Amino acid sequence: MTVRVRFAPSPTGYLHVGGGRTALYNWLFARHHGGVFVLRADDTDIERSTPEFQVDILESLEWLGIDWDEGIVVGGPHGTYRQTDRTARYRAVAADLVASGAAYYDGATPEQLEQIRVAAEAAETSPVYDGRYRLSAEEAAARLAAGNPPPVRLAVPRPGETRFVDVVRGEIVFGHDNVDDFVILRSDGTPIYHLASTVDDVDYGITHVIRGEDILPSTPKHILITQAMGAPCPQYAHLSLLNGPDGKKLSKRHGDTAIRAYRDAGYLPAAVRNFLAILGWSPGTDEEIVSLETMIARFELGAVSRNPAVFDLAKLEWMNGQYLRAMSAQEFSDLALPLVETDLGRELTADERGTVIAMAPLIQERAKRLTEVAPQVRFLLNDEVTIEPGSWDKVMTTAEAPIALAGAGAALEALAVWSVDAIEAALRGMLAAAGLSAGKGLQPVRVAITGSAVSPPLFESLAALGRERSLARLAAAAARLA
Ligand code: GLU
C-alpha cells in the first residue's frame, strides 16, 4: 500500500502556525514512508475564501520547504483538487447514496426542526434529527420536478455507534444518539463540508487523515459517509491543538499566529520547521535541533503526543539564533543584505556592501532574528546618525556622560592609526584616566556613535565608521548635552 496523505486548508485565512505543523506532519509522514503528499483546496466557503489567502498558503508552505506531489498548482490524476470544481461529483455521490438508501431527501420544515430542538431542551436531551420527516420517493420526485429540490440527509443507523482507533488518541466511540441525520447536500445543490471532504478523501485514495483535533467531532460523520460509499476508511490521526504559554488555545493574544509573520520577522524557515516539528513530536534524540534528514527518518505518528503542545516564542527565538549561528558568514550576509537595502530604501554601494559584510559576523554571533541586522548597521550607512530617544534618555542623563564623550573625543583624535586595537586601547586609557566603569564610560560613546544602546561591538563599530564621522558624532552629542 502506498501511503497517501493530504493537507486540506480552507483559504479563509493566512496559514496558521498550527496549520503549518499539520502540513509538516503530513509531509514528514509521506516522506518517511515514500508516500504521496496531496495539497487540496477546501474552498467551499465561497464568502470567506479569497485568492490572497490561497496564495499565502502556497507561499508559506514553500517557504517552510514543504512540497507536494499532487494537488493544486502541480495537478495530478484527480483534476484541479479544488472543491469548488467538484460540485457535480458531490451531487452525483449524494444521488447514489439516496439510490442505495444510505441517504434520503428530507422534508422537515424549519418549524418542525425547531419543535424538535425545543422538545429536546425540555427533556434535557440532545436535539437529534432522526429522519422522521423524510420524503417518500414520490414526494421527492414531485419536488424535484417542481424545481424545489429538498436537501439530502444521511440516514444515520440507529441505534448504533461509530468506533475507530485514532493513531494519536487511541480508541474513540461516538454513540449515534448524539449524531443527527445530517444534511450532506443543501436544497440549492451545494455540498456540506463533510460530504465534500469525505468524497475527496475517498476519490483521492487517502490512506491517512492527519489533521487538527478541532475536526474530531466531525469524524464519525466522515466515517459514516465513507462506509455509505462502500469505501475503506482511512486511518485517522487527530493532532492536539497548540496552546499559548498560559495554557489557553493559541490566539493572536499570544503573538503572531500566521506563518508569514515569522517570515517577515526574520525567522529562518529551517528554524520554524524544526520548532513546529517538535511541537508535540519527539524524534527521540537528546538534541532539540533536528536535521530534516533525521526528522524524515524518525517521524512516526505513534510518537506524536496527545497532550496540547505549548507554542513558546522564547524557544523559537532561541532556536532561530542557533540556526543563525550555524550558517556561514556568507550565507548570513547574503540573507541580511536585502533586508538592509529594504530598510535603507535604496541599493547599497559596493563600499557599503563591504562594510555591512564585514560587520555582519559580529551581529550573527548574538542575533535571534535576521531583522536585527538592518537597524544595527544603519549608523554606518548615513552621514548623520538618528539617536533613539529611549537610548539617549537612559544613557546621556548621567553625570558621567559629558566626561566620557569629551574624554573619548580627545583620546580618539590623538590616534595615529584608526584600527580596532588602537581604538580599544585609547578608550580603555580614557576610562582609566577618568575613573569610569566600562558601562558608564562606554555606553554614552555607543549611543553617540550608533544611535542606540544596542549595537554591534563598540570598537569595531568605531573602526568601521571611520575617524571623521566618529569624531563628528562624539562632538555633536557633547554639544547637544552642553
Ligand atoms: N478544511 C479543513 C480545515 O481547514 C480541513 C480539515 C481536514 O483536514 O479534514 O480545517
The three cell numbers of residue 225 are 459517509
Q: What whole-number distance in Å separates Cα of residue 41 and Cα of residue 74?
A: 12
Q: What is the percent of the chain where pLDDT is above 70? A: 100
Confidence bin at 126 (pLDDT 50/70/90): confident
Residue nearest to atom 6 of ligand 1 (CA): 8
Q: What whole-number distance in Å separates Cα of residue 224 and Cα of residue 158?
A: 12
Bond before 159 cis per omega within 30 degrees:
yes
Q: What is the pLDDT of residue 409?
A: 98
Mean pLDDT of 412-433: 97
Strands 235-239 and 208-212: parallel
Tell which one of 4, 6, 10, 44 to mutate to probe ligand 1, the residue whose CB is within 8 A of the most ligand atoms. 10
Distance 45 CA to ligand 1 centre (A): 12
Q: How many Cβ atoms are within 10 Å of 302's Cβ, its own excluded?
A: 7
Q: Is any atom of ligand 1 closer than 6 Å to the C-beta of 216? A: no
Angle (CA) 462 463 468, round 5°:
70
243 pLDDT exceeds 90?
yes
Mean pLDDT of 40-54: 96
Q: Is any atom of ligand 1 closer than 6 Å to the C-beta of 197? A: yes
Q: What whole-number distance in Å separates Cα of residue 140 and Cα of residue 228?
A: 20
285 pLDDT exceeds 90?
no
Q: Is any atom of ligand 1 closer than 6 Å to the C-beta of 180? A: no
252 is catalytic: yes
Residue nearest to atom 3 of ligand 1 (CA): 9
Q: Is any atom of ligand 1 closer than 6 Å to the C-beta of 10? A: yes
Which is the closest atom of ligand 1 to the Cα of 215?
6
Q: What whole-number distance in Å separates Cα of residue 207 and Cα of residue 204?
A: 9
Q: How many Cβ atoms are within 10 Å of 79's Cβ, its own excluded?
A: 12
* AA letter at 336: A
The whole-model pTM stands at 0.93
Ordered structural domains, the chain, with CATH? 86-239 (3.40.50.620), 383-482 (1.10.10.350)
Mean pLDDT of 301-306: 95
Phi and psi at 40, nearest 5°, equal: -120, 170
Mean pLDDT of 219-226: 98
Q: Is any atom of ligand 1 closer than 6 Å to the C-beta of 11? A: no
Tell which one of 199, 215, 222 to mutate to probe ligand 1, the residue whose CB is within 8 A of the most ligand atoms. 215
Confidence bin at 1 (pLDDT 50/70/90): confident
Q: What is the pLDDT of residue 286?
A: 86
Distance 10 CA to ligand 1 centre (A): 7
Q: What is the pLDDT of residue 53?
A: 98
* AA letter at 156: V
Q: How many Cβ atoms are within 10 Å of 181's Cβ, its own excluded?
A: 22
Q: Is any atom of ligand 1 closer than 6 Å to the C-beta of 70? A: no
- For the chain, give the mean pLDDT: 96
Q: Is any atom of ligand 1 closer than 6 Å to the C-beta of 22? A: no
Mean pLDDT of 452-457: 95
Q: What whole-number distance in Å separates Cα of residue 294 and Cα of residue 285?
A: 9
Q: What is the percent of the chain where pLDDT is above 90? A: 96
* Catalytic residue selected from 221, 248, 252, 315: 252
93 pLDDT exceeds 90?
yes
Confidence bin at 215 (pLDDT 50/70/90): very high
Q: What is the pLDDT of residues 133-160, one digit of tens each?
A: 999 999 999 999 999 999 999 999 999 9
Mean pLDDT of 79-86: 97
Q: What is the pLDDT of residue 163?
A: 97
